[in-house]
Structure 1
Amino acid sequence: MIRIRRAARDDAAAIGRVHVETWQATYAGLLPDAMLVAMSDVRQSAWWSQLLADPGEARGVFVADDQDAGVVGFGSCGPVRDPPEGLDGREIKVGEVYTLYVEPDFQNLGLGRQLLGALFRQLKADRCDTAVLWMLAENSTRFFYEGLGGERVGERTDTLAGVDVEEIAFAWRNLDVPLVRRRLAEEG
């Protein structure tokens, strides 16, 4: 059995491990190998431990916790950091999904959707009307977000490990709508 719950400070080591493992699996070929190889469970765990020590920050972090394997996924959210053009927050309050990762062996079980739902509920509790998520444009996970109703609303170039990468933003403008996998009808 796997449950979605708010992260605790003692989850930091597990989140750090999942963070490194999923980045190395997801971004191989998309980000510099040297950057991915240099990632450290210890550094990521320390970073998450510091974040989870702050109650304000910790309230936006959730984990997928398997009763046998422990933490197998996580996500985090909070105030939007860099809103896409048109979602600048003047007329609406925009939140951001910062991270959402599930270990490869636990993907396609609905955990990503459940974690995203928990993040949206937190953003709604924080009075956000809209959620935005930035991701690498070449990341195939974009189809997951499109399938859950994410609308492509922006793009930008960011620099990671000295390499320019293209990113795209997805937005959900109604956080009350349940996240149900949409079937994309083929037109023929």
Structure 2
Amino acid sequence: MRPIRDARPEDAAALAVVHADAWAVGYAGQFPADVLAAEVEYRRTAWDAGTVVASSSDDEVLLVAEDEEGVCGFVHGVPGQIGGLYVHPRAWGTGAAAALTEAVLPRIGGDDVVLWTLEGSGRARRFYGRTGWLLTGAVREREFLGGVTRRLVQYARRLP
């Protein structure tokens, strides 16, 4: 894996593929098939150069990981919170997610950083547990396409 770097506008198409494919595989079985397909398609079409630029501002950080095939993951953070961490299934288990997390934490600062994940997302939750994130006990409901509601759980990590 190459070093983590800031996302660039020309990464938009690759970010869309990472986001959509990670959703398609990672959330299979957690949503009705039609809802999952719509959520995946939304992520495949939501990324453009402007989205990348907007997500890489003074208040936001958007970093990418690359492997031999190109962009294989990204992390989006704002002060005190990771808003999204996605790695393409081809790069699961390679250390890309951990590298992205460690690269973004100093840039979003604070004493504690939080993130939210789907309660039923076992793979992600195991990753967070292995890498020093602790459940806070906070939960919230989120409505997805088609009116499907799922619970999210919050994790936090204290920064040195």
TM category (shorter chain) comes to 0.7 to 0.9
Please list the CA deviations of residues 94-143 of structure 1 after superposition, one character each: whole Å capped at 9, or x if unmatched.
x110111111121111111100011102112xxx2211000000101101
Q: How does 1:20-169 map to 2 (within 5 A)?
A: 20-38=20-38, 39-40=40-41, 43-46=45-48, 49-54=49-54, 55-56=56-57, 60-66=61-67, 68-79=68-79, 95-124=80-109, 128-140=110-122, 141-153=124-136, 154-161=138-145, 162-169=147-154
Cross-structure match for 1:87: none
Question: Cα distance 1:57–1:17, how it changes in 2: closer, same or farther (>3 A)?
Answer: farther
Q: Per-residue deviation at 1:16? A: 0.7
Structure 2 Cα separation of the partners of residues 20 and 106 of structure 1: 14
Q: Per-residue deviation at 1:44? A: 2.4
Report how many residues are paired. 154
Structure 2 Cα separation of the partners of residues 114 and 149 of structure 1: 13
Structure 2 Cα separation of the partners of residues 52 and 155 of structure 1: 29
Q: Secondary structure at the match of 1:15?
A: helix
**Aligned 8 A contact 2:61 2:104 in 1:** yes
Q: Per-residue deviation at 1:32? A: 3.0
**Aligned 8 A contact 1:51 1:57 in 2:** no
| Paired-residue identity, % | 31
TM-score, normalized by length of structure 1? 0.75
Structure 2 Cα separation of the partners of residues 163 and 155 of structure 1: 16
Q: 5+ unaligned residues in a row in structure 1: which ranges?
A: 80-94, 177-188
Q: Secondary structure at the match of 1:56?
A: coil
Bigger-Rg structure (1/2) = 1
TM-score, normalized by length of structure 2? 0.88
Q: Per-residue deviation at 1:58? A: 8.3
Q: 5+ unaligned residues in a row in structure 2: which ranges?
A: none
Q: What amino acid does structure 1 have at the position aligned with 2:89?
A: P
